[in-house]
């Protein structure tokens, strides 16, 4: 009878260990997905501010219908927040590319989201 009890205890420990491992994997996946969504939301906020800069005349500290000269700190005072860090990859007269790199690591690599925008529309691409 003692051997049978030991067997049940070992079986229970194995099942609990597997359940904990599955829970950790699911939590990491959810954290990465939440970080990715937060970066997209931040990029959309940057896009709103960039469009306002684009439309403002140069006399009002705007771009005068151009993205040239736009820096990330002109959009917001800090290029980082709790979700990640952001930078402008390129800024031409009619197109702007902003990249967000997340704080969460997925398979030893950061989440990266690239947004390309112009005056009328924007495209968001998940790089990783």
Give per-residue pLDDT as tens, 114-128.
Answer: 999 987 887 888 776
Provide the pLDDT for residue 98.
Answer: 95
More confident residue, 11 or 29: 11
- Considering only CA atoms, which of 126, 73, 65 is closest in space to residue 94? 65
- Residue 41 near residue 57, CB atoms below 8 Å: no
In this prediction, residue 1 has a pLDDT band, given cuts at 50, 70 and 90, of low
Judge whether residue 4 has pLDDT over 90.
Answer: no
Of 121 and 68, more confident? 68
35 or 104: whose pLDDT is higher?
35
Lowest average pLDDT, out of 22-26, 47-51, 83-87, goes to: 22-26
Taking residues 92-99, report their average pLDDT. 94
Between CA 126 and CA 100 the distance in angstroms is: 10
User: Does residue 95 surpass a pLDDT of 80?
Assistant: yes
**Spatial separation of the C-alpha atoms in residues 117 and 10, rounded to whole Å:** 57
Alpha-carbon distance 113 to 98, whole Å? 9
Tokens 């980082």 sit at which residue? 80
């Amino acid at each position: 009878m003692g051997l049978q009890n030991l067997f049940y205890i070992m079986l229970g420990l194995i099942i609990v260990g597997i359940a904990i491992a599955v829970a950790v994997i699911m939590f990491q996946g959810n954290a990465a997905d939440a970080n990715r969504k937060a970066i997209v939301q931040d990029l959309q906020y940057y896009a709103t501010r960039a469009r306002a800069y684009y439309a403002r005349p140069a006399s009002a500290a705007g771009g005068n219908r151009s993205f040239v000269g736009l820096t990330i700190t002109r959009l917001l005072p800090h290029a980082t927040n709790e979700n990640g860090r952001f930078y402008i990859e390129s800024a031409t007269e009619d197109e702007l590319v902003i990249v967000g790199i997340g704080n969460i690591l997925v398979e030893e690599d950061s989440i990266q989201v690239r947004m390309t925008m112009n005056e009328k529309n924007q495209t968001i691409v998940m790089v990783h």
